[in-house]
Amino acid sequence: MATPDDLTLTRRDGYAILTLDRGAKRNALTFAMRRGFAERLAAVAADDALACAVVTGAAPDFCAGMDVSRFGGDAANRREIVESSTIMFAALAKFPKPLVAAVEGRALGGGLALLLACDIRIAARSAELAMPEVKFGAAGGFAVLRAAVGDGTARLLALTGRALAAEEALRVGLLAEVVADGRALARAEAVAAELAVLPRRGLLLQTEIVRATAGATLEASLAYEQEVFRRVVLGAAEDSRRGAPAGGL
């Protein structure tokens, strides 16, 4: 498990803040941080007092991606590279509550993939985003880019490794908001507080729809929304027959 110096979980009224706390190393993700991130997500998911989580990084950057100093090595080390990454991103994919990202500085490679796993992405004006794997003889990140910005822009970013300034990232849809430098976390916390007072059932259902239909066709998205609506209506009817409260949609 990651040490408190690498990764911190702070509870606020109705939401949590997950901070990559390895600023001197640009918050590059170690094996322990990736596994610890998954463990902390599970803790937030299980805590009914928490409606959502904010993901951020200690200054000066959001996350520079995987810690490349840990790459290579013997067979056991190479397996851990793959396994710890798989564990972290699987935990992000199944996390049932909204994730709000607060970005100062750079989000690169695996750090950008982490950012794109968040539902609402807020960055400071001087932030930079890139998937630079191709520049280092590696590959990856295209799938999450395509889901976020569409095929054409994703191809450009993945094949060139080009960095985007925050305003351009906002224009192509990688970000939801751009704020003044030093204000990303405060703005993300304000959004998290807004989510925390919503009826929890509706928030979870809407999050489910957002995640499940990302990148899907309009037809498939509408079909999924209809299935959720059917589940809500029929579930409410069943609750009514049992005399139980139907929940707060």
Query: Per-residue DSSP letters for 3-51?
Result: -TTTEEEEE-SSEEEEEE--GGGTTPBPHHHHHHHHHHHHHHHH-TT--
Contact present, 124 and 167 (Cβ < 8 Å): no
Contact present, 32 and 79 (Cβ < 8 Å): no
Tens digit of each residue's pLDDT (9 = 90 or more) over 116-143: 999 999 999 999 999 999 998 889 899 9
Catalytic residue positions?
Answer: 133
Tens digit of each residue's pLDDT (9 = 90 or more) over 15-38: 999 999 999 999 999 999 999 999
H helical segments located in the chain: 31-46, 75-94, 110-116, 142-149, 151-160, 166-172, 184-196, 200-212, 218-242
Give the domain ranges of the chain.
7-196, 200-242
pLDDT of residue 57: 98
Work out the percent of the chain whose per-residue pLDDT is above 90: 80
pLDDT band at 4 (very low <50, low <70, confident <90, very high): very low
* CA angle (215 as vertex; 211, 217 as ends), nearest 5: 115
Work out the average pLDDT over 177-192. Answer: 98
Lowest mean per-residue pLDDT among 91-100, 115-124, 125-134, 211-220: 211-220
Secondary structure of residue 235 in the 3-state scheme? helix
Q: Which CATH homologous superfamily contains domain 7-196? A: 2-enoyl-CoA Hydratase; Chain A, domain 1 (3.90.226.10)
Work out the average pLDDT over 55-84. Answer: 87
Tens digit of each residue's pLDDT (9 = 90 or more) over 158-171: 999 999 999 999 99
Whole-number mean pLDDT of the chain? 90
pTM score: 0.90
pLDDT of residue 235: 74
pLDDT band at 204 (very low <50, low <70, confident <90, very high): very high
Tens digit of each residue's pLDDT (9 = 90 or more) over 34-44: 999 999 999 99
